[in-house]
Chains A and B, each alone.
Chain A
Amino acid sequence: MSTGNGQQKNIFGFSTAPSTGADFTPIVKYDARAGRVFRVDRTQGVDGFTGEQVDITAMFRAVFDLENVEVGWMLFAAGQAPSMALAPLSDVTAGKAFPPEPSTLHKQGVRVLIKLAKACGGDKPVREIASVAKAFLGAMEQLYLTYLDEREKNKDPNGNYQLPVVSLLKTEPVTSGSGAQKSTNYRPTWKIDGWVPRPDDLIYMPAAASSAVAGAAPTTGSTPVPPPPDYSAPKHNLADDFG
């Protein structure tokens, strides 16, 4: 409920109050050139917002919402919000069309919502991780295939699918190109530590909500939708890391 002064209760475990002007899904960044995982914390200073990168590589652990992976086109340009044109991976694998390429500057990428464990989550543990780096995409593909292979045998006692708890096992250098074009990136190896029910605050929201193509007038929405599902689910011990 709103209080009398307009402040809101911390219902989701992270603030939803529109006090900052940029209170959108915070991110975790995988820097493929360094093989490091950073939590990007946005703070407001006198000159506007700045992103402080907190290295969480060593302690990285998160619930990955692999039930709702999105694939498509992304453009990360300096000084502007990311431009994404994405579709659910489940739709694409079911035969629906891959999203059209918004511009020649966009690259193919993957977006996943995650919830960081308490040890590395800061005050906003629910985040998105998205990348177009080949090193990242290859590792995500492997993780997703493992998820598909193992999710059947890791249902909860009521027969419901659970989500994997993922940590970063190691990173390995991958060199591409030659001569002046030669570059080294680091491919992560993700490891599934366990399975938990979907955390209450890990609520899937399509990136369509922020997918305006650079330069194009934003659409408003013409997709009729049914009532939303209820995400509440029983908890067990491993889930306590994300409570």
Chain B
Amino acid sequence: MTIEYDHHSPSSCNLFAAAPAMWVAEKILGEKRPASASMHRGTATEAGVAHGLKDLKADLPACIKVAQSRYDALMALSPDARRTAYRGDLAPMVASGLKALRPYGEPSELQGRMEWKPDELKFPIMGFFDFKWAHKGALVELKCTEKMPSKIKVPHARQAAFYATSDNIDTRLTYVTPKKCETYQLENIREHRQALVNIAKTIERLLSESDDPQYFIDHTIPDLDSFYWSGPAARQMAYKYWGV
């Protein structure tokens, strides 16, 4: 097996920081982490909100339908027991997301691709931001979560800072739960962006140590209490590669 790692992403860097063994499983061993109902709920909510922002006249039921269709497609083969409950969350989450973001008007850009290779890194960092309003100098990342945070989560700050690109962009995180919606302004963009670079540098240092995937298995261990390893497929993967 050869290691095929040729770019970083904010989510990859955040995964490396949060769960190095899962990062090894995904990026070194090529294993696919089974997506949860929670992840799919987020993806589907974003699809519904994006539909309502691209077409400001689209009525709410149509936007919810977009979200539900996306969710149903993503969850078609998922054994996740929460699938029905989370499907019910889509309507309030899309509604509150649109209530928060429609006053911004139509975004100038959705899912914009960003790529940046600092001199200090061997590989570029690549990613896609959610929504940008160039005429208002605003960029928003939409995050769906079970519980409303009182401040921007650090991994989200690193991700959004990467997309900010400039102090002149008002960068925001809009958090949506089934019951609440809140938008926070990102602070200290330069520092969070540099933190992302620092994580990427650590990844590159680690990668430079060996071309043998087994080396990385031998130097990490899964935390089975972490939600990253909570699903049955992930649990089996931990046993297969790490014997735990």
Residues of A within 8 A of B (CB): 1-2, 6, 8, 11-12, 16-19, 21, 23-25, 44, 48, 81, 126, 128, 200, 203, 205, 207-212, 218-232
Contacts and interface: CB of A to CB of B under 8 A. Distances in A.
Interface stretch (B76-84, B189-197, B228-236): B189-197
B168 A219 contact: no
Contacts of A24: 166-167, 190
A212 B166 contact: no
A223 B184 contact: yes
Interface string B146-188: 0000111110110000101111111111000000001111111
10 contacts: A2-B112, A2-B114, A12-B137, A18-B162, A212-B190, A218-B191, A221-B152, A223-B187, A224-B182, A231-B136
Contacts of B86: none
Interface of B: 101, 103-105, 108-109, 112-120, 126, 133-138, 150-154, 156-157, 162, 164-173, 182-192, 195, 197
Contacts of B136: 203, 228-231
Given A221-B173, A221-B185, A222-B150, A228 B138 contact: yes
A122 B51 CA distance: 40
Given A228-B138, A230-B105, 5 more contacts: A12-B137, A203-B137, A203-B170, A209-B164, A230-B136
B119 A209 contact: no
A63 B155 CA distance: 37
B165 A222 contact: no
Nearest to A1: B109
A205 B170 contact: yes
A219 B137 contact: no
A126 B168 contact: yes
Contact of B186 (A18, A23, A126, A209): A209
Given A210-B189, A221-B185, A25 B116 contact: no
Contacts, number: 141
Contacts of B187: 208-209, 211, 218-221, 223
B190 A12 contact: no
Nearest to B186: A221
Given A1-B108, A1-B109, A227 B103 contact: yes
Contacts of A218: 157, 187-188, 191-192, 195
A224 B134 contact: no
Contact of B153 (A203, A220, A224): A220
B177 to A, nearest CB: 14
B188 A212 contact: yes
Contacts of A16: 165-166, 168-169
A205 B172 CA distance: 12
